[in-house]
Amino acid sequence: MKLARWQANSSTETGWGTVLGEEVLDLRHLWPGGLLALLGRASDKPVDSPPAASPSGNRGSTPALAELRVPLAEAQLLAPLDPPSFRDFYAFEAHVRSARKRRGLEMVPEWYEIPVFYFSNTASIVGPDAPIRKPPETRELDFELEIAVVIGREGRDIPIAEADAHIGGFTILNDWSARDVQRQEMKVGLGPAKGKDFATSIGPYLVTPDELEPHLLPDRSRGKRYHLTMTATVNGREYSRGNARDMHWTFAAMIAHASRNALLRPGDLIGSGTVGTGCITEFPDGTFPWLQPGDEVTLEIEGLGRLTNKVVD
């Protein structure tokens, strides 16, 4: 399923739905527990199936299926959820190598020993088509092309062999970055903060793992891997092209590490980090201009849809 949080263009009321082609099927009457119930909140037991829609559509009964279909053109897709926590990892070797080279640094052996991450600001998470406000102090605004998962089952000290079963869904993630601000604070050695926490966009929906089965790769020794093309365009011009198969650290390894001595809860968001070539800073100076107000950035991942946002002043 492609699970979405949405609102009708003529309303401020939000609801949960599943995207079917060019329509949203309104799940509020079918599955009132919401998205986290769909992911298996508070229990390892399978979530009960929704009740069948009543063909009659009578008052007081579940509406007829036709009444629950809303054209996508009449709906605004929102961030698929408000995660209780957001961990962003550093899983693509090509990106790490390029980013460190730009700072005059070699790869360190520790990167190959553990999957590292930082916590970011859940209050700054937005969805598709939301405006991204450029921080006034940055001259080097950048995007980051990432794939992310949402935890669907609670767990602590999760073994790698069991970690994929804790994934409730996949989505696209754009970890917007003010590179000059980030560069200044990283010199202190405590990780990114104000260079990152002003905006993160996710969406356009959550895709359940069964939808990605056709993209599974045969090597699953340390968790599932997927062949998914990832691209980024700015104002229609392609800047980035990569593939999820190039992740050095699988999501299973990331989940196992994140859950060590810590509780992961349904709805927790885990980002992969940037795919190789998935941001402006990886390229030689002058290859692409830094983002400016009016620029429209679209991230696309095979099977997960498109996530578009425009930079504003």
Alpha carbons 11 and 48: distance in angstroms, whole number: 30
Confidence band, pLDDT 50/70/90 cuts, at residue 33? low
Alpha carbons 309 and 198: distance in angstroms, whole number: 14
Q: What is the pLDDT of residues 80-95, one digit of tens each?
A: 999 999 999 999 999 9
* Domain definitions of the chain by residue range: 2-78, 86-312
Alpha carbons 145 and 303: distance in angstroms, whole number: 15
| 3-state SS assignment for residue 214 | helix
What does the DSSP 8-state code read for residue 53?
P
Amino acid of residue 273:
G
Q: What is the pLDDT of residues 193-235, one digit of tens each?
A: 999 999 999 999 999 999 999 999 998 889 999 999 999 999 9
Nearest to 121 by CA among 95, 150, 173, 84: 84
Alpha carbons 85 and 268: distance in angstroms, whole number: 5
Assign residue 197 a region (left: φ > 0; alpha: ψ between -120 and 50; beta: otherwise).
Answer: alpha
The answer on pLDDT for 184 being more than 90 is: yes
What pTM does this model have? Answer: 0.90
Alpha carbons 294 and 311: distance in angstroms, whole number: 5
The answer on pLDDT for 58 being more than 50 is: no
Dihedral sign, Cα of residue 46, residue 47, residue 53, residue 59: positive
Confidence band, pLDDT 50/70/90 cuts, at residue 305? very high
- Any alpha helices (H) in 164-240, and if so which ranges? 179-186
- Residue 204: cis peptide before it, omega within 30 degrees of 0: yes
Alpha carbons 290 and 74: distance in angstroms, whole number: 33
Contact 213, 193 (CB under 8 A): no
Q: What is the pLDDT of residues 109-134, one digit of tens each?
A: 999 999 999 999 999 999 999 999 99
CATH code of the domain made up of 86-312: 3.90.850.10
Give the DSSP H/E element, type plus range, for residue 231.
strand 229-234
Residue 101 CA, distance from chain mean position: 26
Alpha carbons 2 and 207: distance in angstroms, whole number: 5
* Paired strand residues for 140: none
Alpha carbons 32 and 10: distance in angstroms, whole number: 22
Nearest to 83 by CA among 196, 206, 260, 212: 206
Q: What is the pLDDT of residues 162-172, one digit of tens each?
A: 999 999 999 99
